[in-house]
Amino acid sequence: MSDENKHHTTAAALLPLVGGADNVTSVAHCMTRLRLGLRDRSLVQDERLKALPAVMGVVEDDTYQIVLGPGAVARVTPEFEALVEAERGGSAEAAPEQGTGAVTAEGLAVQGAAMRAERKKRNATPFKLFLRRIANIFVPLIPALIGCGIIAGLNGLLINLHWLPATTPALAAIASGFMALITVFVGHNTAKEFGGTPVLGGAVASIIVYAGVADVEAFGRHLSPGQGGVLGALGAAWLGVLVEKWCRRRVPESVDVLVTPTVTVLVAGLATLFGLMFLAGEVSAWIGDAADWLLTHGGAGAGFLLGGLFLPLVMLGLHQALIPIHTTLIEGAGFTVLLPILAMAGAGQVGAAIAIHVRLPHNTSVRATIKSALWPGFLGVGEPLIYGVSLPLGRPFVTACAGGAFGGAFVGLFNQLGTDVGSTAIGPSGWALFPLLDGNHGLGRTVAVYAAGLLAGYVAGFLATYFFGFTKTMLRELDAAPDTSAAAGAAAQPPAPAGRVTERV
């Protein structure tokens, strides 16, 4: 079967299991997940959907999120959208019914679903919903950050090897073009997210990167093109939305098309030039200095805390506050030193899953789940391992976080010793982060430190889970034959409130 047919078949299998086209209100995707807005959640056939070979897991948040993995999700989404439109128009044939198939580790899956539902309800606070909206601004930019980041890494390698000297300037232009204009895209997405006209948001944000701002003086200093960066663009576009909405309520319809855009760009633009650019520039500089200070002085301790606490932050919905911080660091230094440390959380999960596989030799259901989810886990797709294995079991989730802490401590230690390990983009994790690595001491040393950090996370997660992840009672109940696996899964005590893993951490 060709890739095109495979992705069409996957989309056709998914549509009836989420209640058909009439039940779908929105379709979007991020790095690994197909995100669906649904009218009636009860129409979704969860177990049959999870049994599909292409589905790695399901996450419930403000949208219904089906984990398909990197690459696949970008190809399945347009096929799914086409089927939705065709079915709504009455021109599509009925999607084929899928066989039910066996559900692996059913008891653990039920517990994981209950935890996701509980976390979704708990995280629907105004502050966390605001953070989610901020994340929605940056998540659509991730594919461009990844593509340009890989090209930048390739160009750096060619320059170091003195290969293709006539080509490297062209590659540098390709890699840098998006970052030079990222503020425009942030402004566009900000206006779209907060209910304004996207192009007006982009127009206001474009002021920040216009070369002529060097002639403008604010707070006794001349401005610099790009000063304030993505934070300034976000603030400028948000202010533009407020001005635009104010105008829409008061300007007569006969002149609205002339007055509203003009006033929006003028007022928000002046505020950007004579306030936001300076203030956002100071905040951006502070973020960069704080990250450098944290890893220079905190080192292993800071890495231990960041690597160990990242997944709990994800469960609380607070991880989304890191996205603009990552983007600001990339814009300023060319890479973010925080992401490789946070990626160690996934390494701890992988090590813990291997330990669970070893400790439960008779529970074929859980072992089958681990086997199917382990390779995605190596590539940074952690949802299947977390929601299907470690989180419902409880203690293994905690020991997995401990593994991430030790991996983060390893990478943090090298940052303290002067070897910066950074990523030129956000989104990928695990092995998928290798093409995006960058640092201050050459690619070879950066890759070696990151790889050793992953290994430390794998080993620490394995050892912590093997020796401390199970009580004797848990082992007796869980290490059972397949016919008792569901009961064994239900007997495991759930951990503290949980949530989903993100934009592949």
Task: Report CA dihedral (172, 178, 179, 184) to the nearest 10 degrees.
Answer: 150
Find the mean pLDDT for residues 110-127.
64
Task: Kindly state the tokens that stand for 226.
Answer: 């790009």
Residue 4: HSE in the Cβ half-sphere, 13 Å Cα cutoff: 0
Q: For 312-321, 403-412, 419-428, which range has the lowest pLDDT when averaged over its residues? A: 312-321
pLDDT band at 189 (very low <50, low <70, confident <90, very high): very high
Q: Are 333 and 422 in contact (CB under 8 A)?
A: yes
Q: Give strand ranges (E) for 221-312.
A: 221-222
Tens digits of residue pLDDT in 142-172: 889 889 888 988 888 888 788 999 999 999 9
DSSP-derived 3-state class of residue 336: strand
In the block, residue with structure tokens 């450098």: 292
Q: Are 72 and 64 in contact (CB under 8 A)?
A: no
For the chain, the average pLDDT equals 85
pLDDT band at 192 (very low <50, low <70, confident <90, very high): very high
Task: Report CA dihedral (431, 284, 319, 129) to the nearest 10 degrees.
Answer: -140
Q: Residue 92 above 60 pLDDT?
A: no
Q: What do you get for the CA distance between the two ends of the chain, in Å?
A: 32
Tens digits of residue pLDDT in 356-389: 999 999 888 889 889 888 988 898 888 788 877 8
Q: Give the C-alpha distances (Å, rounded to integers) separating 330 from 38, 66, 380, 437, 441.
A: 35, 29, 20, 12, 17
401 in active site: no
By CB atoms closer than 10 A (0-12, 13-18, 19+), residue 258 is exposed
Find the mean pLDDT for residues 212-221.
92
Q: Give the C-alpha distances (Å, rounded to integers) separating 348 from 252, 294, 310, 375, 459.
A: 60, 22, 11, 14, 8
Tens digits of residue pLDDT in 470-489: 998 888 888 875 554 444 44
What pLDDT sits at residue 117?
59
| Element of type H or E holding 27 | strand 24-29
What pLDDT sits at residue 505?
37
Annotated active-site residue in 30, 148, 247, 401: 30
DSSP-derived 3-state class of residue 21: helix
Q: Residue 184 above 90 pLDDT?
A: yes
Partners of residue 35 on adjacent β-strands:
28, 65
Tens digits of residue pLDDT in 390-419: 888 889 999 999 999 999 999 999 999 999
pLDDT band at 247 (very low <50, low <70, confident <90, very high): very high
Q: Residue 499 above 60 pLDDT?
A: no
Q: Residue 435 above 50 pLDDT?
A: yes
Phi, psi at 50, each rounded to 5°: -65, -25
**Nearest one of 55, 233, 255 to 137, comparing CA atoms:** 233
What pLDDT sits at residue 87?
85
Find the mean pLDDT for residues 205-230.
93
Q: Are 223 and 279 in contact (CB under 8 A)?
A: no
Query: Which has more pLDDT, 201 or 30?
Result: 201
Instruction: Please report, rounded to a whole number, the percentage of residues in the chain having pLDDT higher than 90.
Output: 50
Quote the longest CA-to-CA distance of the chain: 77
Pairing of strands 221-222, 421-423: unpaired
Find the mean pLDDT for residues 87-103.
48
Task: Kindly state the tokens that stand for 335.
Answer: 């890479």
Q: Residue 451 above 60 pLDDT?
A: yes
Q: Residue 123 above 70 pLDDT?
A: no
Q: Are 171 and 154 in contact (CB under 8 A)?
A: yes
Q: Give the C-alpha distances (Å, rounded to integers) separating 135 from 288, 312, 321, 422.
A: 20, 18, 7, 21
The DSSP 8-state label assigned to residue 140 in this structure reads G
What pLDDT sits at residue 443?
86
Tens digits of residue pLDDT in 71-84: 778 789 889 999 99
How many whole angstroms separate alpha carbon 209 and alpha carbon 93?
A: 50
pLDDT band at 199 (very low <50, low <70, confident <90, very high): very high
The DSSP 8-state label assigned to residue 97 in this structure reads P
How many whole angstroms separate alpha carbon 131 and alpha carbon 424?
A: 23
Indicate yes or no: pTM above 0.75. Answer: no
